Each structure stands twice: as structure tokens, then as C-alpha cells.
A and B are shown apart, each in its own frame.
Chain A
Amino acid sequence: MPADAGATSSGRAAPTSNATAPVALAGGAVDIGTLASRARSGDASAFRELFRSFGSMVHALLLVRVGPNDADDLVQDVFLHAWRKLSTLKDAERFGAWITTIARNRAARLHTRSRPKTTELPEELPDSAPHGAAPLDAAEASRAALTALSALPETYRETLSMRLVEGMTGPEIAAATAMTQGSVRVNLTRGMKLLRDALEGKGWS
């Protein structure tokens, strides 16, 4: 297991979000429906706000399907495609679910298999403690974690990607994807268990 990644001495942390989406606009909560309606009417600045609000979520979906090398470019492709197809969005309030559909579709059409181009995990990885072996290299740990994450069932890997990669909290994931908070929590909990099992089997402790 890599070196300690930031647990505080007190062990408690207030809810925080490192995500870039969704964020509050001046004057109150994000009104996705209003932004999407305006964008649908041709307001490019409103659409750019939607990009800022949903870019991380879309990236999270794509990362676990096409890998890190293609995900960034594909995010742009998804939003440019969405801009052209906005007239087909019936319910502006459901922009998040709609852009999710486009993202999955574009990823599927890329004809790149849904696993990132990372090194296959060896059967045995160095165990840092208690035998005193060297900690897992940070780059190796990152690749191993992404490989394991991307191998999870779709529902779990997408939700976990939003949480662990993009730093979105559970409530933010629910708001962005239109899933219920209950569903998101189940996905996170079960997915985390599967992820932990997968990494333990490869030498993580």
C-alpha cells in the first residue's frame, strides 16, 4: 500500500468537495434546467457553464471506458456533439442524464475497448509492511488502481470514478446524474468493496 495519503491526526474531516462540478453560481444553487434551456436557445455562455458543471462527471465516465489517454479529448468531443444536438433534448432539467447517454455512446463508438492502456497487475506486488519492503511506486499505484477500477461492473466503476477520481461527493453525484442518493450510496459501498477485494488480491494491503 502506498505511503499514507493524508489521514489527519484527528481522523475526522468535514464534508468537502474537490470536484469542479456542479458548483454554485452567484445568486444561489445551480439551475441546470435554466442553463440548458438557454443553451438550447443558442446561448453559448450558458453551454460553457454546463461544460464547467458537468465536465468532471463526463470525464469520470469516459476515463473508465477509454482510458486516460483518450478521455480528455473525448470530453471535448462529447460536449461539442451535445452542442450540435441540443435541439433533441426534450427536458432541460435532465441535461445531466442526457449528456451521460451521449458520453457512453461516443465512448462505445470509439472502438477502443473499455480498459485503460495500463500495465497488467503482477500477481504479487511488494508488500510495504510489516516486512519492510519498499512502498508501491506512486505511478504504479495509480495505474493499478485505475486498472482495477475500470474492471468493475459498469454501474460501480462510473460512480466510483466520479468519487475517487474527480472528487465528487455522493450528493453531488446524485445531483449530476439524476440517480437517487440511495442508489449512489449503494454503488459506492458495493463498488468500494469490490475494488478493495480486487486490489487486495493483487498485493494491496
Chain B
Amino acid sequence: MVMSDEYLWDRSGPVDAEVAALEEALGKHRFRGGELPRLEARPGPRRLTSRVLVFAAAASLALAAGLYLTGTDRSPYHFETLSGTPTVAGASRADGELGFGESLVCDDTARARIHIGDIGSLELEAGSRISVRRSGELPNTDDAGFVLDLERGSILASIFATPRLFQLGTPAGLAVDMGCVYRASVEPDGTTLLSVVTGLVSFETLQRRVLVPEGALARSYPERGPGTPVWEDATEALRGAARALDEGRGDPESHLATILDTRREKDSLTLWHLLDPIEGVEHSAERVYAQLVSLVPVPDGVTRAGVLDGNETMRERWKQEFSWDWGR
């Protein structure tokens, strides 16, 4: 019998007898609904001073992670097999907890999903290895959080938590989740490609921090750190020039000229990340500034001198002006 896709889709079109029969057979297991029991009270909205809010945010961050990471025997990481046979410490395992210091390996035929507490999950692709960092502490802070290290291969992360609670270590930097879905791939030489499906990821090393919003991607390199974010729909010329600039290939003057050719406001993403001087290119920062200003007006309180001087407050203030263009 030829199946009617439309009936399967939304019950329009000719009735597909097989689908209808399955509805009849399986409908017996339908959810009966009912009501939830009494819900314990949750705090309602109230006015708080900014200092209290900061403290409360930090406390909730630590608490959310700490419930798992302090004083409990249970790891917050639980994995299940999606295909093939993943291994932990060389032994095949279909599912179970991943403890601190343990590594999950998927060979060319295996895939797995790792649940990260209740804040989300990530899918480990075939040919990948990921480890649970020994300490639950977030890098460079005293806060507790969730940290996994992607040693090779690819993951697709879906995180629904407050920013920075989940961080993914790679050989080329730290991907800090800001509440999103993103894909990270580590190549054999340690170069890491990060592409963001929804939300925002901050990719960080001690030397540099780049922001990668939804619809954009960035590479990060061992020794060099995060490269320049570009939109996935930017021109091939711009994307190629940014990559060549990051990798130190060819003539940097020519690459910058290609990038500055853009007339798209949203390419302010790439330009903003090039405001610091580029080695081998005279007056690069001034030229980038000039092109950025032509795309997005400078707001009150932000000066050319301040931006070129690396004033973080001014640069952040300006970024807020063109943030609405970043993929929205």
C-alpha cells in the first residue's frame, strides 16, 4: 500500500489504513493526563538590590552545580549509547555514570549522549573522545560547574542553563556556554571548529576571548588561541580571508582589504573582533574602526580614541549597538 504522507503528517488527505491501524493499536497507551500533586512554593518576583542579585546569581550557580559536585557520591554525568559500542577505560559500556577523570570513547561506529546534570546534554559523534575534568571547578574561577574536555572528534551540545555553568575544554581553548546549542569539532592537530546553532558561546583562552553567536562559527588553534568569528553566510572571500589571517598564511594586508570590502552590517561581528592591531598590517585598527563606523554608528560615550586604545567598556557599549544585528 502506498502511504499517504499527509495523513501521517496531520491527518489530512486520504486516510492511510496502516497508520490508522497503528493509531488504534498504540492509542491504548496514550497519556491519561491527570493532575500534578501539590507543588511546593517557589519564591515569587521581588525587588532586589543589584548587589544581592549578583550574590544570588553566584550562589545559585554554585548551588546548581554543587548539589552534584559536593557532598554527593553521584556524578552529574550520565551517558547512554546512541549507536555502536562506546568504551570507558577500555571496557565496553552501554550506559552509566561517567565519574571525574573518566573518558568516554566512541570509535568509528559508536555515538553516545551524555546528560549533564539537568542543564542539558551533548552528543558525542563517532571517532571522538571526551573526558570528565577531575575537578568540578570552572577554570579560572572558584565557582563549581560542569566541565568536560573534548580531546578529539565532535560533539553537539544542547545546554539550557544560566551562562557559564557548562564549559567545554578543547586543545585550543575553552568554549563557555552562554545557553545554547552548538557543535564543536577537534581536528587531529588540535584545531577546534565551533559553530553555534542557537544562542551564544564564548570561546576563550588567557590571551583572547571571542563571542560566537547563533549562525556563526570560529576556529581556535593550539598555541594561537581563538580565531576570528565569521557568519556562516558571509561571503566565501571574507571567510577565507579571516581564516588565512588567523592562520598567518599569505599577505595579511590583502586579507584585511578583503574583509573590509564588506558592506553588510552583520559582518560587524568579524570586524569588531579585529579592532586590535594586526601584525604586518599598518594602521589595521584604524581602518577596521573606520569600516565599522560606516556600518554601525558609534553611540554616545564611545570615542574613537577609547576604542582604539582598547577601552573594554567603550567596546562593549558599542557592541550592544550592533548586537541586534548579530543573527537576529
- Give residues in A with beta carbon < 8 Å to B: 1-2, 4-8, 11-18, 20, 41-44, 47-48, 51-52, 55-56, 59-60, 63, 68, 71-72, 75-76, 79-81, 83-91, 94, 97-98, 101-102, 104-105, 108-109, 138, 141-142, 144-146, 149, 153-154, 161, 163-167, 169-171, 185, 188-189, 192-193, 195-196
Contacts and interface: CB of A to CB of B under 8 A. Distances in A.
A5 B31 contact: no
B179 interface: yes
Q: Is the interface of A mostly helix, strand, loop or mixed?
A: helix
B64 A41 contact: no
Closest A-B pairs by Cβ, 8 of them: A5-B24, A59-B31, A42-B42, A90-B179, A42-B44, A169-B10, A105-B115, A145-B25
B30 interface: yes
Contacts of B42: 41-42, 44, 83, 86
A88 B24 contact: no
Contact of B10 (A1, A63, A89, A171): A171
Contacts of B83: 153
24 contacts: A2-B25, A6-B24, A11-B14, A13-B12, A14-B12, A41-B45, A42-B44, A43-B44, A51-B36, A55-B31, A72-B31, A81-B118, A97-B158, A101-B115, A104-B115, A105-B121, A108-B78, A142-B29, A144-B25, A164-B22, A167-B30, A185-B9, A188-B9, A192-B19
Contacts of B115: 101, 104-105, 108
Interface string B2-33: 01010111111111011111111111111111
Contacts of A104: 113, 115, 121
A5 B39 contact: no
Nearest to A20: B33
A54 B254 CA distance: 54
Nearest to A62: B31
B268 to A, nearest CB: 24
Interface in B44-60: 44-45, 60
Bin the interface of chain B by size: 35 or more
Interface in B117-139: 118-121
Contact of B31 (A43, A75, A154): A75
B44 A90 contact: no
A145 B24 CA distance: 10
Interface of B: 3, 5, 7-15, 17-37, 39-45, 60, 64, 78, 80, 82-83, 95, 113, 115, 118-121, 158, 160-163, 165, 179, 199
Contacts of A196: 3, 18
Nearest to A67: B29
A188 B13 CA distance: 16
Given A146-B25, A167-B23, 10 more contacts: A5-B17, A11-B15, A15-B12, A16-B11, A76-B37, A84-B40, A108-B115, A145-B26, A164-B23, A170-B9
Contacts of B27: 18, 164-165, 167
A37 B147 CA distance: 28
A32 to B, nearest CB: 14
Contacts of A109: 78
Contacts of A83: 36, 39-40, 42
A89 B163 CA distance: 10
A51 B36 CA distance: 8
Contacts of A1: 18, 21
A53 to B, nearest CB: 11
A108 B94 CA distance: 11
B33 A55 contact: yes
B226 to A, nearest CB: 23
Nearest to B33: A20
B120 to A, nearest CB: 6
A101 to B, nearest CB: 6
A68 B31 CA distance: 10
A52 B33 contact: yes
A102 B116 CA distance: 10
A175 B15 CA distance: 24
Contact of B36 (A76, A105, A188): A76
Contact of B3 (A79, A94, A192): A192
Contact of B15 (A12, A81, A87): A12
B9 A6 contact: no
Contacts of A89: 160
Nearest to A59: B31
B140 to A, nearest CB: 22
Contact of A48 (B23, B36, B120): B36
A13 B11 contact: yes
A12 B64 CA distance: 52
B41 A42 contact: yes
B25 A6 contact: no
B114 to A, nearest CB: 10
Contact of A41 (B25, B44, B161): B44
